[in-house]
Amino acid sequence: MKLTRSFTVLAAMAVAGAAQAEGSLNIYNWGNYTSPEMIEKFEQEYDVDVTITDYDSNDTALAKIKAGGHGFDIVVPSGTYVPIFVSEGLLMESKPNEMENFKHMDPVWVDVDFDPGRNYTVPWQWGTVGVTVNTSVYEGDIHTAALLFEPPEELKGKINIIPEMMDVMSTAIYYKGGEQCSMDREVLKEVRDMLVEAKKDWLSMDYGNIEKFAKGDLAAGLNWNGASMRSRLQNEDIAFGLPKTGYPVWMDNAAILADAQNVENAKLFLNFIMAPENAAMLSNFAKYANGIAGSAEFMTEDLSSAPEINPSDELKAAGVLSKTCPPEAQKIYTAIWTELQK
């Protein structure tokens, strides 16, 4: 029985601590983000016992790994956090670019700012932050952040903003004509005034809105493309717009930790997820694109044909890959963010 097995495993763990049996791998990842099917395949192929532990924010993951003594082998930070992990000496230079399956990686994602040439990390999933709109409520152009920051009457009071400080700030700064990580006082003043004003028309600043969009509780919102797609699959009226003024693009990446104990298995794993059919398993589960060329043919029809995942070239050009902002900028953004929620 499963439950009995869990008890036994637990009892063993309580006695031995995190037992380092031969052939194990400890993955530290966002919750509900790792395809169990893919893990099972990996376990069988390499006879490795995989343990997954969840986190809910990059900051938590960073703080824990920095403190040490955690016992993890692999972590999956967002691109904006990779340079921090590297500069703090927390990641192992595992050279994914010399691995067998590296040839499958989409060239677009090889020379990224956060890890040029991919000496540390392998793409996990990537996506965009845009505007989810219920087109039966609002019929105009959806490719603008004005729907959130200067909303038309019909959307007022039915708007949700995901509480991601950097994504909200970036989208607003782009909308006001500023650059990524801008410290331009004029722009930031306008951004602050606009956000404080716009907040009166927002219903909530919350995660987990897939059903609320599908059922019409919400009519517009700052949202992730994968989440927006899930809403559309339940309600055809839901569409996903990408602001032409600019929108954030993010990528989460798997990397081996400097103090990993199962280095060989971790390397096997990085190589494993670069294989198109395995990357596709990840996408089928997490519902985002993965940065591995040729994986689309292994994806479910829903996903490979989704407009949210495959935007037009014109819209693609407006995307800005998120990077790590300097601490001074971060400080101002936090002040504006606190002001907004006081």
Least distance to other proteins from the beta carbon of 141, Å? Answer: 27
d(CA 273, CA 45): 13
Binding to other proteins in span 91-150, by CB under 8 A? none
Q: Interface with other proteins by CB under 8 A: which range of 143-151, 172-180, 202-210, 239-247? A: 202-210
Residue 230, interface with other proteins (CB under 8 A)?
yes
Binding to other proteins in span 26-85, by CB under 8 A? 26, 28, 30-33, 36, 51-57, 59-60, 62-64, 66-72, 84
Pseudo-torsion of CA 176, 180, 183, 189, nearest 10°? 20
Q: Interface with other proteins by CB under 8 A: which range of 5-13, 107-115, 243-251, 290-298? A: 5-13
Of 138, 144, 127, nearest to 287 by C-alpha is 127
Residue 18, interface with other proteins (CB under 8 A)?
yes
Residue 300, interface with other proteins (CB under 8 A)?
no
Least distance to other proteins from the beta carbon of 34, Å? Answer: 9
Between 317 and 335, CB nearer to other proteins: 335
Residue 316, interface with other proteins (CB under 8 A)?
no
Q: How many residues bind other proteins (CB under 8 A)?
A: 78
Token representation of residue 122: 């392998």
**DSSP secondary structure letters along 159-204:** EEE---HHHHHHHHHHHTTPPTT---HHHHHHHHHHHHHHHTTEEE
Please compute, for residue 76, the number of CA atoms within 13 A of its CA located in the half-sphere on the CB side.
24
Residue 211, interface with other proteins (CB under 8 A)?
yes
Between 66 and 316, CB nearer to other proteins: 66
d(CA 284, CA 242): 23
Pseudo-torsion of CA 100, 104, 105, 108, nearest 10°? 140
Q: Interface with other proteins by CB under 8 A: which range of 23-31, 134-142, 243-251, 309-317? A: 23-31
- The CA-CA-CA angle for residues 61, 65, 68, to 5°, reads 150
Whether 94 and 74 have beta carbons less than 8 Å apart is answered as no
Mention every residue, 6+ apart, whose C-beta is less than 8 A from residue 200.
none
Which ranges constitute the DSSP H helices of 17-139? 36-46, 58-67, 82-87
Residue 337, interface with other proteins (CB under 8 A)?
yes
Least distance to other proteins from the beta carbon of 62, Å? Answer: 6
Q: Interface with other proteins by CB under 8 A: which range of 183-191, 238-246, 273-281, 312-320? A: 183-191
Binding to other proteins in span 235-294, by CB under 8 A? 286
Between 69 and 107, CB nearer to other proteins: 69
Q: Interface with other proteins by CB under 8 A: which range of 102-110, 291-299, 307-315, 328-336? A: 328-336
Report the residue from 150, 215, 236, 264 that binds other proteins according to the rule CB under 8 A.
Answer: 215
Strand segments, DSSP code E, in 17-151 are: 24-30, 49-55, 74-75, 111-112, 115-116, 121-134
d(CA 63, CA 29): 14
Of 227, 195, 133, 182, nearest to 325 by C-alpha is 182
Residue 21, interface with other proteins (CB under 8 A)?
no
Between 16 and 108, CB nearer to other proteins: 16
